[in-house]
Structure 1
Amino acid sequence: MTLSHHPGFTLVGDVITREVLPRLRYAQKLPLRLSCMGTAGYEGLDEADEFDRTVVIGQSASAEEAMILASQRVARGDIRVSADDTLRFHPRIVVIQDGDLGLVLGGEIRAGIVLWQQPVVSDVEARRIITEASRLRGLAFAASGRVDHSAARDHRYRASLLEARLVDPYWRETAAELLHLPQAA
């Protein structure tokens, strides 16, 4: 006996595979977490006394909402390390991560706006970025050994900016699509 497939009917297994399972997997990755990496230091002290800091700036239910929230927070300049007014924070990179800490999207902060980084398109490109970021982190370590704080911080920042392109494979297509959408002001 053979099963006849009527054009108007879809097998339950096909519905579960194509529609239900992807939605469940997406729901497990939420909420998305927004973080900002930068340097912090007390007012009146020199650059050598600054330190790297990551600040969680919010959560979101979708990647598009997360991008908008991050852009708004950066534009307002209200990202702070603590309530201490003498502790200044200079944001440099924003990242959006999923519930598994997979990178959804990353962007560089310049002049009060977020310049979102294009995600890698392949695992080969990701390996090249990892190699270069590792090289830069090695240079940062060497600069720290020479007590050259500025150079060490610059190398770490450049490595982090490269790593902002290492979008989790699950999110690559979504991130690429979002970067082609016009951004709301």
Structure 2
Amino acid sequence: MTISRQTTFAPIGEIVARDMLPRLHRAQRLPLHISCIGTARYDGLGDADGFDCSVVIGECPSPEDAMTVASQRVARCDVRLSSDDTLRFRPRIMAIQDSDKGLVLAGEVRAGIVLWQQPVASDAEARRVVTDASRLRGVAFAASGRGDAASARDHRYRASLLEARLVDPFWRETAAELLRLPQAA
């Protein structure tokens, strides 16, 4: 009689390194925080009298849940700065960050939906995005110096959209995978 070795069992060290350590590391960076960047202004005032601000949306235990909460709040037009009915908030960018303030995912708010931005694929691409965003912020600073508040805000917004792709390297693969799923579209 011959005893055959089963090769279907993996050593415990391999299981811990492959499955457990990544989960533990991810758990240390939870919960995820959702916020919305936008422009606020009071009724009766023009866009030039508006101001940029951020609204805290909440916390979630996973990127999938955070995307769902953010998308639902935008779809219901349920992103408010305060209970003041004369203060209007126009959401522009949704951001999901981990507990270390690393960017998990971000997207542009347009027509009642969140258009999640594809994360950069490499550090070299991240450097190009930073360079382009810095250039736009310089143009915004120049426009502000000329007194052109609307143009300055538009350039800052475009820079923020570029920066929305600067996902923390820890989350890049997860974010790219989430955006490949059919429900993320």
Q: What band does the TM-score fall into relative to the shorter chain?
A: over 0.9
1:141-177 alpha-carbon deviations (Å, 9 max, x no partner): 1111111100110000000000001111111111111
* 8 Å CA contact 2:119, 2:167 repeated in 1: yes
Aligned equivalents of 2:184, 2:122: Cα separation in 1: 29
The amino acid that maps onto 2:166 is L
| Aligned match of 1:57 | 57
* 8 Å CA contact 2:178, 2:184 repeated in 1: no
Unaligned runs of 5+ in 1: none
Report the CA distance between 1:46 and its aligned residue.
1.2
| Aligned match of 2:111 | 111
Aligned equivalents of 2:156, 2:34: Cα separation in 1: 20
Runs of 4+ more than 2 Å apart: 5-16
Are residues 1:171 and 2:174 paired? no
Report the CA distance between 1:117 and its aligned residue.
0.7
| Aligned match of 2:131 | 131
How many corresponding residue pairs?
A: 181
1:102-144 alpha-carbon deviations (Å, 9 max, x no partner): 1111110111011111111111111000000000011111111
Aligned equivalents of 2:176, 2:19: Cα separation in 1: 22
Q: TM-score, normalised by structure 1?
A: 0.93
Find the residue that maps to 1:156 and give its secondary structure: helix
Find the residue that maps to 1:183 and give its secondary structure: helix
Identity across the alignment (%): 69
Q: How does 1:1-185 map to 2 (within 5 A)?
A: 7-183=7-183
1:27-52 alpha-carbon deviations (Å, 9 max, x no partner): 01111111100100111011111000
The amino acid that maps onto 2:160 is S
